[in-house]
Amino acid sequence: MKLSSKIYLIYFSVAVISIGILAGFYLSQRADSFKEAEEPVALVEAKVVGEPYIYTTLTKSLKGQNQAGEDVDLLDLKGKVWVFAQFYSRCPECAKDNIIVLRELQEMFRDNPKFHIVSITVDPEMDTPEWMADFSNQLSIDTSKWWLMRTDKDELLEYGQDQLKYNRFEKSATPGQIAHDMRIAVFDDELQMRGMFNLFNIDQSKEPERYAYEKDKLVKHIEWCLAN
């Protein structure tokens, strides 16, 4: 074999070996990264660090009636710490998600006279005063602490986007359903929104730790507002 051929063979062999070593190292690193990604991330307890951000402040009135037929206005809640959510009676997600969370909050803060809940229907034509009263009784809702509120649909649509910073609600592609914002908002006693939480977007059965973490943040924001 010629000298030049031997030299070429040596260089070629070294190159092949080097590529093999590098490929093996790369694959081992990728395997480690996938292994790390598959391991669940430890979630720390949610904490409100400092003063929560102010999303918006209510400056305009939104009047309607609660489940007892009483005239109410969101501006009357100044001095209260309250949570807000949209709903309608035929909404399956409302029944299995937000309403459950709101009932838990009602029990958690039942003894605090400063705490309040507002659930406002996006379908006042279907959710009649009679239905709202019956629904309230079924859930053992204390009307003095939790309003199931009805108001003009067009007025709510404008108010929701302008004052509450909620997404526009509209007819869903599913017959008889309404696509609406499922977030739960927290307001302090100065009518300032201090947080918005979308537990609906988290599959509790698949991501229980993440769901619990976000729910704990919701509670922590309420507690901060009640303490300040």
Q: Tell me if 180 is assigned to a ligand binding site.
A: yes
pTM here is 0.73
Q: Which CATH architecture has domain 56-227?
A: 3-Layer(aba) Sandwich (3.40)
Q: What is d(CA 122, CA 150) in angstroms, rounded to the nearest whole number? A: 8
User: So where are the chain's domains?
Assistant: 1-39, 56-227
Question: Using alpha carbons only, what angle is made at residue 226 by residues 46 and 213, rounded to the nearest 5 degrees?
Answer: 15
Q: Tell me if 91 is assigned to a ligand binding site.
A: yes
For 107-126, b/e burial (b = at least 16 CB within 10 A) is: eebeeeeebbbbbbbbbbee
Q: How many CB atoms lie within 10 A of CB 12?
A: 10
Structure confidence at residue 31 (pLDDT): 34
- Tens-place pLDDT, residues 165-212: 886 755 655 656 665 577 899 999 999 999 989 867 666 667 778 878
- Tens-place pLDDT, residues 17-51: 444 443 343 333 333 332 333 333 333 344 555 78
